[in-house]
Amino acid sequence: MVPSYASVAGKPTPGWTRDPMTGDADLTSDGTFILRLRGSYNGVSAQDRVYRLGKRLDAILDDPSINASDVVVYAPGREAAPTIFIAGRRFVSVDAAAAAAADAAPKAVAMQWARHIQQLLPGLSARRVKASVVATPVLPALKVTDRLEDVGGSVGVVTYQNHVLLHVRGIQTGMVTSAEKADAIQERMDAALAKGDPREGADVQIQILPVREIGRSRVAPVRLIVNGMGVTDIDERMSSAMGYASPDELAQAWMHNIQTVIASIPVIITTPQSSVSTPSTTTDQGPSVPAKVPSEGAAL
């Protein structure tokens, strides 16, 4: 097996090794073996798939609260590949090649991988955040479910400089969890806010999109635009899960909260002589106030 990259500065860093003869690839963390993928799947090589897993694992290990109970096997049925979720986010699916190599059913292989990850995950995370290394659990309880609602990640949070901008709740369109949806929004939100001048606040707009027919309902989705960049589309499913009557109503609430939060964060202006902290320009939404995290079940 040929190593691709190794740990950095002593902290557990996901890596991978590849067998040049078979094309198989191993996912590792700080030299610890986690799992092996064999061959290509949907046109993607094992090497590329393991590289993507390494990036997912890298984000997971930065969470000091991660524990064995956050690992769940989602097995919806015979037609779909069983998938391991960690903290409500898809981690890896067990394909036919992996199952054939193990001479076992895909669900059984998924459970085997999940138990192995459960045993490794708390220790790796503790080492990443320089905490005390926790004892490796012995055969921790493993949840196996055919309901996406049971994999975790029922609430997703999008933030800016540790201030909450918005929440997402419930299973989203496309059968993704709220945690996964929030991660996607977070990436675009970060890029959008980086484009603007923080002293001028955030330019947030709402665009009504063409009506789409979904079943018997006609849904008019709304696009949330920040500093000229589309951040997310809000549909009826999303607004209903948040307790709002329409996508536009939810978009209005998010727009107000984003503007208020950005305006409330002091801006550090650095000069050659000194650093001065000044509040950013307020918007017409009223006085700047810190974002409040609503209680579970309350609308943002």
Domain residue spans of the chain: 2-150, 155-279
Contact criterion met (CB below 8 Å) for 16 and 26: yes
Among 244, 252, 194, smallest CA distance to 224 is for 252
Q: Is the pLDDT of residue 202 over 70?
A: yes
Q: Would you say 40 and 46 are in contact if contact means Cβ atoms under 8 Å apart?
A: yes
Tell which wins on pLDDT, 41 or 187: 187
Q: Which has more confidence, 131 or 282?
A: 131
Q: What percentage of the chain reaches a pLDDT higher than 90?
A: 46
Q: How confident is the model at residue 189 (pLDDT cuts 50, 70, 90)?
A: very high
Mean pLDDT, the chain, as a whole number?
79
- Torsion angles phi and psi, residue 191, rounded to 5: -65, -40
pLDDT-derived band at 3 (thresholds 50, 70, 90) equals very low
pLDDT of res. 288: 38
| pLDDT value at residue 61 | 83
Q: At what angle do helices 46-61 and 106-128 cross, to 10 degrees?
A: 50
Give mean pLDDT, residues 163-192. Answer: 96
* pLDDT of amino acid 135: 55
Coil, strand, or helix at residue 287?
coil
Which one is predicted more confidently, 275 or 197?
A: 197
By C-alpha distance, which of 156, 165, 175 is closest to 265? 165
Residue appearing with tokens 């650095």: 270
Tell me what pLDDT residue 98 has.
83
Task: Check whether 113 has a pLDDT greater than 80.
Answer: yes
pLDDT digits (tens, 9 = 90+) for 123-151: 777 666 555 555 555 556 899 999 999 99
Q: Determine the average pLDDT of the residues in 215-242.
A: 88
CA distance 280 to 268: 9
Q: What pLDDT score was predicted for residue 152? A: 95
Mean of the pLDDT values across residues 1-28? Answer: 52
Query: What residue spans of 178-278 are helical by DSSP H?
Result: 178-195, 236-241, 247-264
pLDDT of residue 213: 66
Higher pLDDT, 254 or 24: 254
pLDDT tens digits for range 58-104: 888 888 788 899 999 999 987 789 999 999 999 999 988 788 888 99
Say what percent of the chain tops pLDDT 70.
Answer: 74
